[in-house]
Structure 1
Amino acid sequence: MSTTTSPQTAQATQAAKEAVGSKYVKEQMQTARERTWQVIERVAPRVVPGMRESEAAALCKAEMEALGMDRIWHPTIVRFGENTLRMFKERSVGDPVLRANDIFFLDLGVVWGAHEGDAGATFVVGDDAEMQACAAVAKTLFDDVEQHWRKTGAAGTALYAYADERAQALGWRLNLDIKGHRVSDFPHAIYRAGDLGDFDACPNAGMWILEIQIAHPTKPFGAFYEDLLY
């Protein structure tokens, strides 16, 4: 018996993984994206040495509330120092204090106007050149992979293979356990779409988050960047 998937079955599977609810409006996904980035841009400069992760998370919450969020859809993630190596589902070790020369990232999942925003970026305080390079490479890799998607229409699986290849070429380790995910009108989780890195079709705009998490090859810190493919 043949186990080959027919084109019709593949199309149906893709459609199911990219299903949306009755409230979904693509342009509203862009609005949710912009509002989430606005929070990050307001909070990041206020995260300073001597502050704890929990205090930075409280700043994020206050800013999201001030901008009129509906709710959060995933826990607010703030990572300082060695905790930047930890994945989304892993808890931070302790509640560390940001040092004078340190690295941190913010990862926010927020609902605005019934649509899910999700964004994350890495920042450096002080003048540690390797930390600055790490943060820069995470953004460079994101931009490179995003452009590869735009130019080639590559499937999600191919995008992460490309990301791994580019990370190695730049001398960094890509965490391939972090492979992106769906977003939509809230809640996207009902569609059980799986990770972007396991999606074997070209992801449509306004539906998928591309996540990049890297680690320094020898030192105990990393960097993270994510945004909506739009």
Structure 2
Amino acid sequence: MSEAMNQQDAINASKQAVGDGFSVASMRYASDMTWKAVEAVAREIRPGMRESEAVARCKEVLAELGMDRIWHPILIRFGENTLKTFKQASTVDPQLGEDDIFFVDLGAVWDRHEGDAGATFVTGDDAEMRACADAAKVVFDEVAHHWRTTGAGGKDLYRYAAQRAEAHGWRLNVDIKGHRISDFPHAIYKAGNLGDFEACPSAGLWILEIQLAHPTRPFGSFYEDLLA
């Protein structure tokens, strides 16, 4: 094996490092609790509510569930803001409509381990909004299956995600590329994006993010979960 390959293997290993307190069971618990929070918050969101009100209620729900802390800002997007990336600010403070779409993206620490989960929900009977919300989960599942069955690296997973999104009639937001999580804080490992990671991501350490856009209408959908 060449020296260059040895160096790349070392880099890849460093990007999948964990702390002394890391526990697979705790990672699963953090994931389960974050999903519990996502679902609880989604049940609280109703037409007429503003994004800022949903975020405020979300903070209360997380506290009620006993999280250690928030590790990334709460992200709740209504309507056209579902097309925004994580780092883009919402446009104004929209009010959720009777026939509308929204997503919840939460990153919280439980038992000193990071959870990260997100999903899209709809109000009313707009068939295209419901199809878009469902498609984000469908594409996620297809990419996760591809990872499990082929051992594909992160870059290949996102190329496959773009193909699957297009096959279903949606556009993948290629600026959303997934990321590491771990025992808190994962940021010390400087792992970068999953979509830029050449090697096959290890189970229980990487979040696969899928964000779709409707081809003609101003809304999208989002789904993320742990590759496990």
Q: Considering the TM-score relative to the shorter chain, is it more than 0.5?
A: yes
Describe how 1:17-36 pairs up with structure 2 within 5 A. Answer: 17-36=15-34
Match of 1:219 in 2: 217
- What amino acid is the match of 2:165? A
Match of 1:15 in 2: 13
1:78 to 76, 79, 93: 76
CA distance in 2, matches of 1:43, 1:191: 31
Q: CA RMSD in A?
A: 1.0
Describe how 1:104-143 pairs up with structure 2 within 5 A. Answer: 104-143=102-141
Match of 2:49 in 1: 51
Deviates more, 1:138-147 or 1:40-49: 40-49
2:4 to 3, 6, 11: 6
Residue segments in structure 1 that go unaligned for 5+ positions in a row? none
- What amino acid is the match of 1:170? H
Structure 1 position 5, deviation (Å)? 6.5
1:169 aligns with 2:167: yes
CA distance in 1, matches of 2:41, 2:62: 10
Structure 1 position 154, deviation (Å)? 0.5
Residue segments in structure 2 that go unaligned for 5+ positions in a row? none
Structure 1 length as normaliser, TM-score? 0.97
CA distance in 2, matches of 1:188, 1:45: 30
Match of 1:94 in 2: 92
Which consecutive segments of 4 or more residues in structure 1 shift more than 3 A?
none
- Provide, for residues 184-225 of structure 1, a one-character-per-residue CA deviation record: whole Å limited to 9, x for no partner: 011111111000000000000110000000000010000000
Provide the identity percentage.
63
- Provide, for residues 42-97 of structure 1, a one-character-per-residue CA deviation record: whole Å limited to 9, x for no partner: 11122110001111111211111011111000000000000000000011011110
Structure 2 length as normaliser, TM-score? 0.98
CA distance in 1, matches of 2:211, 2:149: 23
Tell me the SS of whatever aligns to 1:39.
helix
- What amino acid is the match of 1:140? V
- What amino acid is the match of 1:19? A
Match of 2:148 in 1: 150
- What amino acid is the match of 2:170? W
- What amino acid is the match of 1:76? I
